[in-house]
Amino acid sequence: MTDPLQTILLTGASSGVGLALSRLLVPLQRYCLILTARATSIPRFAEAGIHETDRIRLRPLDVTDDDQRVAVVDEALRDWDGVDTLVNNAGIAYRAVVEHVTDAERMEQMGINFRGPMALARLVLPSMRAKRAGRIINVSSVGGMMAMPTMPLYSASKFALEGATEALSYEVRPFGIYVTLIEPGFINSSSFQNTHYTSQAAHSENDPADPYHHHYRNMAPFIERTMGLSLATPEKVARRILHTLQRRRPPLRVAGTPDAVIFDLLRRFLPRRLYHAMLYRSLPGIRTWGREGPHDAT
């Protein structure tokens, strides 16, 4: 007797790590897949050679939309006895200092990176509990273990995701459900350099007289250069996720890239005061921050 097919619901499946994971999953006949993306991104699946079959569904999903979340989970329940593995991969990153963030921008960041994943987890958990089995994989970031200037919203959303995921793992382990955080660091991919600026942040970066001008002018190129030098790719991170969801007893945290291991070790073993002092002094062009005039780091 063959084992029943396992159903995987993957968000943010049309680009970056999500698309790389989709490509790994599609050939595996043991899985039924619901691959989701924003409605405007659905054509990317065809461009990547991914099409619907009897076990592959391509569905529009804005993870902040209540009705769309319910629709994809109900479809899995109706046709495939529910979701066996949920991979919350959809995410967004705003670049802005705290002063340059509006309430609406804050809500959007938290909605996509935190509230949406938690809402999907709530929807899939009842059927997982009934089967006493299931996997929930939340794609976090080193931004969920350490905060970077000009990225406070992103870190706040990932810190929230990490805390809720850790608590959830304890809550549902007695039902045979395993919850895991994937924590990538810098990834060499153009899709990861598409960070959104708030309107105030964009103005500040282009205005040398703005008090935060040098924060942006130094941090943005530094992060982009670091990503460009990284040996980690979306494909490598996707393989880590696939390996994790196939493990019998996956751990709570999985480093998605080699630098994530280093960041975690520094955070855990260095004295806290030394750790923060090192991070501050290593910020690009830090001596120019808060000063007037064009002092960009070279």
* Catalytic residue ranges: 140, 154, 158
User: Is the distance from CB of 138 to CB of 242 less than 8 angstroms?
Assistant: no
What residues form DSSP beta bridges with 10?
35, 87
Instruction: Find residue 60's DSSP bridge partners.
Output: 37
**Which residues neighbour 188 within 8 Å (Cβ) at sequence distance 6 or greater?**
227, 228, 229, 230, 231, 232, 233
- Cα 58 to Cα 60: distance, rounded to the nearest angstrom: 7
CA distance 214 to 287: 10
Contact call for residues 211 and 158 (beta carbons, < 8 A): no
The single-letter DSSP state of residue 62 is: -
d(CA 131, CA 65): 27
In three-state form (DSSP H/G/I as H, E/B as E, the rest C), the secondary structure along 99-168 is: HHCCHHHHHHHHHHHHHHHHHHHHHHHHHHHHHCCEEEEEECCHHHCCCCCCCHHHHHHHHHHHHHHHHH
Please report which helix (H) or strand (E) contains residue 283, including its range.
Answer: none
